[in-house]
Chain A
Amino acid sequence: MAPWSFGRRARETNRFEIEAMPHLDAAYRFALSMTRDAAEADDLVQETFLKALRSFDTFTEGTNCKAWLFRILRNTWINRLRSGSREVTSDEAMEAIQDASLAGWDDRAFYRTPDESAVLRATRDEIQSALQSLPPDFRQAVVLSDVEGMSYKEIADVMGTPIGTVMSRLYRGRRLMRRRLARALGLEEAGGDADAEAGGEVVPLFGVRAKGEAGHGL
């Protein structure tokens, strides 16, 4: 006789409500960081939660529900990109572009601008638009770490990449974002349009980790 499961679905739905629903806001933020479009983020989250609900029996209780949801979310988004006509730029192509625009960046200089407190007064829209200008994988890594507070391990889990790649994306993503924000706020000093600059200080202060794959050890 097949095992009976009276109310199994109701119990599972209750468990889903307790475990997954608290991550709805976070899922929406992450979706927004990928789609950059509110309606599409909305739709993506709905599809994700429906999928997650249907396959909740495959989620192991006690493990990281947020990372599990985010992984489904990201995979769903990638599937949409692939099935649509949207262009998916490869990471390699992106990295080549970004290498150029990080040239001349200096973390110390960023915090030594004439009015550095202006950075701290940046509005949500200003921060968001700086973030949205980043290549997708950099943007996602920054959102997962700086907004959602995920560990490198969790981010690696969501994005399906090694931790070293996560570190590299974070490093670049964060600094690119700051540069774009500084520009938008008119804070970057004269000659700061380093995208086109070949000379000047090419190696950023923290450039050692620009290659990013180094481990944790000192």
Chain B
Amino acid sequence: MDCDVLSRYLDLYLDGELAIEERSEVEAHVRTCGACRAVVTAEARFRAVLRQQLLSVRAPGSLREQVRERLAARRRPVAMAWMPPLAYAAAVAAVAVLGYVVIATYPKAPDPVAGAVAAHVAASGPEVSGGRDQVESFLRTHAPFSYRLPLQDGEGIRLVGARVTRLNGVPAVVYQYDAGGRRFTVAQYQPPEGVDEVPPHMDHQDGYTVATYPDRGLVQTLVGDLPDGEVSRIVPAVWTR
């Protein structure tokens, strides 16, 4: 290899784009030729300076913060994504204090959840009306799976009926409760295949507060025109039982 040939491969050599044989040829020449060695060394040094100087340019802290905030918003439940961070933090704190940890986010409501909201809104006549005894006697013959009453009566909450239905194709029992004159429903269904544990999750849809959480191997979606705090109060009751 002579100087002219080396000069053609200077960039490739320093960029690490030469094959091993070519690389050793360049190195053999550089060892014996002072002029080429000087150019290679000087160019390598200059590149190091350039790299060092320009790598010191960093994204501004404000940009990093904004991107991080986007990520955080995406982790939040859809309805909460619009809350300012402080309001969100307050909501999470309020919920966490009650022992109800919000973990999950959903790209959109899973089918049964959307179905639970529709079932709550439609309020077609319950298949059974009445308290715990009537509901249990009805469900023993009609429930599509091994049901469990989601909430105990008490603290202003009263079971008033239930029906068996499908929520967007998922077999479910929808329980109806009365909370001081306001009605809310709890849809109960089996977790999707391959999902062991559904993370508790609170959301808002169509003006309703929607809380989805696991309970003794089943999934429950509470839907009601209730304040978040009220829902949080009701849900841990299930949680701690």
- Check A7/B50 contact, CB under 8 A, given A1-B169, A2-B111, A46-B67: no
* Chain A at the B interface: SS class: helix
Given contact pairs A28-B60, A209-B11, a sample of 10 additional A-B residue pairs in the complex whose CB atoms are under 8 Å apart: A1-B168, A1-B169, A5-B106, A8-B106, A9-B74, A13-B71, A24-B59, A24-B64, A49-B70, A146-B54
CB atoms of A10 and B105 under 8 A apart: yes
The residue in B5, B59, B74, B104 that gathers the most chain A C-beta atoms within 10 A of its C-beta is: B59
Q: Across the interface, do A4 and B192 meet the contact criterion of CB distance under 8 Å?
A: yes
Q: Is B58 an interface residue (CB 8 A)?
A: yes
Binary contact readout A40-59 vs B (1 if CB under 8 angstroms, 0 otherwise): 00100110011001000000
Q: Number of residues in B with C-beta < 8 Å to the partner? A: 58
Q: How many positions in chain A have a CB within 8 Å of any CB in the partner chain?
A: 58
Residues of A with Cβ closer than 8 Å to B? 1-10, 13-14, 16-17, 21, 24-25, 27-29, 32, 38, 42, 45-46, 49-50, 53, 107-108, 111, 116, 119-120, 122-124, 127-128, 131, 143, 145-147, 149, 151-152, 167, 170-171, 174, 178, 205-206, 208-209, 216, 218
Complex partner residue of B110 from A6, A128, A143, A151, CB under 8 angstroms: A6
Of the residues A25, A108, A146, A171, contact of B58 by C-beta under 8 Å: A25
Q: B45: CB under 8 A from chain A? A: yes
Instruction: Report the minimum CB–CB distance from A16 to chain B (whole Å).
Output: 7
Partner of B74, one of A42, A45, A53: A53
B124 within 8 A of A: no
The distance in angstroms between the C-alpha atoms of A45 and B60, with both chains bound, is: 11
Q: Closest residue to B35 on the A side, CB-wise?
A: A108
